[in-house]
Amino acid sequence: MIENYLLYLRFLDQKLNTFFEKQKPYIFCKKGCAGCCKNAQFPYSKIEFEYLSFGIEQLDVETKNIIIKNIDDVLKQKEQFKGELFKYDCPFLINNVCTVYNYRGIICRTFGLANVGADGRMKVPFCCFEGLNYSNVMEDNGNKISAEKFKKLGVDQEPVAFNTNYEFLTDPDFERGFKFTFGEIKPLVEWFVK
């Protein structure tokens, strides 16, 4: 079944690469910038977690040990957390670099693109408000495109939102089309709860 998931991932990566290419003037992602890997929930389905596990196996012992400690720390924070929505820094992020990059989940592959919000409007990534993605074309409140900024950029590509919602990308239609199942979905760190 993992082979079929890999076919889906290849299809997804191709789509996302096209989206990133179309949005190139607005994307400022670079190695070492990892705000999107922090303070979030990171939904992972069973098959994504299985694939991630292959990536973990490839790592050297020292890196694995750091990750094990990170996971322990996050799970301890979770135990003490009293609020409704527990958010954490991804345990696989070391020195602001993803240690399992090729094996990362679906949500991780969409980081950086503008998305379609529940109200159908363009939803820019949080880092827009930190002077990063789409900040060069959006009004300061991030609610709408600035005609003035767009004109100043002098680029052909318009800023566009694509439907990269996790719910959409894990739709049963993909399971039927590629002949695999995503399985249970839960926050990444919960896959490590014994």
Q: Binding residues for ligand SF4, per CB under 6 A?
A: 28-29, 33-37, 42, 90, 92-93, 98, 100, 104-105, 108, 111-112, 125, 127, 132-133
Residue closer to ligand SF4 (CB basis): 58 or 151:
58
Cβ proximity to ligand SF4: between 49 and 180 the closer is 49
Query: Cβ of residue 122: shortest distance to ligand SF4, in angstroms?
Result: 15
Which token pair is 38? 């922090």
CB 174, min distance to ligand SF4, A: 19
CB of 147 to ligand SF4, least distance (A): 24
Minimum CB distance to ligand SF4 smaller for 112 or for 187:
112
State the Cα–Cα distance between residues 69 and 28, nearest whole angstrom: 31
- End-to-end CA separation in angstroms for the chain: 25
Shortest separation between residue 179's beta carbon and ligand SF4, angstroms: 25
Residue (21 or 151) nearer to ligand SF4, CB? 21
The least CB distance from residue 131 to ligand SF4, in Å, is: 9
Nearer to ligand SF4, 150 or 164 (CB): 164
Taking only Cα atoms into account, the Rg of the chain, rounded to an integer number of angstroms, comes to 18
Nearer to ligand SF4 by Cβ, of 103 and 174: the residue is 103
Residue 156 corresponds to which tokens in the numbers above?
């052909």
Length of the chain: 194
Tell me the C-alpha to C-alpha distance, in Å, between residue 97 and each of 11, 27, 42, 69, 128: 25, 18, 16, 16, 20
Least separation in angstroms between residue 155's CB and ligand SF4 is: 18
Contacts 24+ apart (CB under 8 A), 172-176: 174/8
SS3 56: helix
Helix (H) or strand (E) holding 20: helix 2-22
